[in-house]
Amino acid sequence: MKIYTIEDLVNFEKDEYGILICPSGDYSQIKSFDEECVFDEGCRFGEGSSFSKWCSFGKWCWFDEGCRFDECCSFGEGSRFDKWCSFDAGCRFGKGCRFDEGCIFGRGCKFSEGCSFDRWCKFGEWCNFGKCCIFDEGCIFDEGCKFNEGCSFGKQCRFGEGCNLDNNLKFENITDVVVEVLKIDRIGSRKGCTYFFKTKSEIYVRCGCFFGTISEFEARVLKTHANNEKYRSQYIGAILYAKYVLGYSVENVKNDGQLFEKEITAGTEDL
């Protein structure tokens, strides 16, 4: 693979719009690309490289860690990005792109099917993901993100308001397909989010480090907060609410859970 330097860019052709046309090769010796560039397939870029807006890359390009991309860059299928790369708004990615840990994406980025993301990646609002994208643990999604069928998520992923999760997704190594997700925010001692995942046969719960069935979660709540009525009541109320919303029959819950059941039942006529 030919290795290019900054001096080589001067001799590259430009199209009628003044965009630099860059052939396949190794660009790892160049750290900054100021002009709008179009790169051929299979190019290689070194760590910390930066690219201006509207740059376009062919398939199978490889980017080392910490690369930075301005808005509306586009990437061909099979592109590979090392950890801590960052992308501004409106970037677009082809099929099967792979991202290492800690990559950051601006609003409205769009990903084709089969893209995979390592842990702790962060996505801006209104990002759109194709079929069968895979996310490792701790990924964070801002509001309004949309996921197509077959996407899967590792443990402790977090979702903003209005994310579309009702597309036969897979979470936390659950073998049964998740058909609906409910998020309840700011309850319990953590004042954090609690997620309820509905499958065809069960409800699973992610709350902080806890992950298990809704029955296991109830037992943990009653044990952990046996002497704290405030937090126990908040979690038991969330459990009963999740069962109603997700379409499961509400069983009698120990202790003050029966009181919540009566209150919810009494109020349903007013909803």
3-state secondary structure the chain: CCECCHHHHCCCCECCCCCEEECCCECCCCCEECCCEEECCCCEECCCCEECCCCEECCCCEECCCCEECCCCEECCCCEECCCCEECCCCEECCCCEECCCCEECCCCEECCCCEECCCCEECCCCEECCCCEECCCCEECCCCEECCCCEECCCCEECCCCECCCCEEECCCCCCECEEEEEEEECCCCEEEEEEECCCCEEEEECCEEEEHHHHHHHHHHHCCCCHHHHHHHHHHHHHHHHHCCCCCCCCCCCHHHHHHHHHHHHHHC
Mean pLDDT of the chain: 89
Among 64-73, 170-179, 252-261, the minimum mean pLDDT is found in: 252-261
The encoded tokens of residue 91 equal 């970037």
Per-residue confidence (pLDDT) for residue 193, from 0 to 100: 86
- Output 67-71 pairs: Cβ under 8 A, ≥24 positions apart: 71/106
Dihedral over alpha carbons 136, 92, 177, 243 (to 10 degrees): 90
Per-residue confidence (pLDDT) for residue 18, from 0 to 100: 87
Q: What's the rounded Cα separation, in Å, for the pair 185 and 17?
A: 49
Task: Specify whether the CB–CB gap between 235 and 225 falls below 8 A.
Answer: yes
Residue 266 has pLDDT above 50, yes or no: no
**pLDDT tens digits along 116-174:** 999 999 999 999 999 999 999 999 999 999 999 889 999 889 998 888 877 788 888 88
Picking from 181, 252, 182, the residue whose alpha carbon sits closest to that of residue 218 is: 252
**pLDDT tens digits along 86-114:** 999 999 999 999 999 999 999 999 999 99
Residue 271 has pLDDT above 50, yes or no: no
Picking from 156, 236, 162, the residue whose alpha carbon sits closest to that of residue 197 is: 156
**pLDDT tens digits along 70-83:** 999 999 999 999 99
Per-residue confidence (pLDDT) for residue 249, from 0 to 100: 59
Q: What's the rounded Cα separation, in Å, for the pair 200 and 268?
A: 24
Residue 47 has pLDDT above 50, yes or no: yes
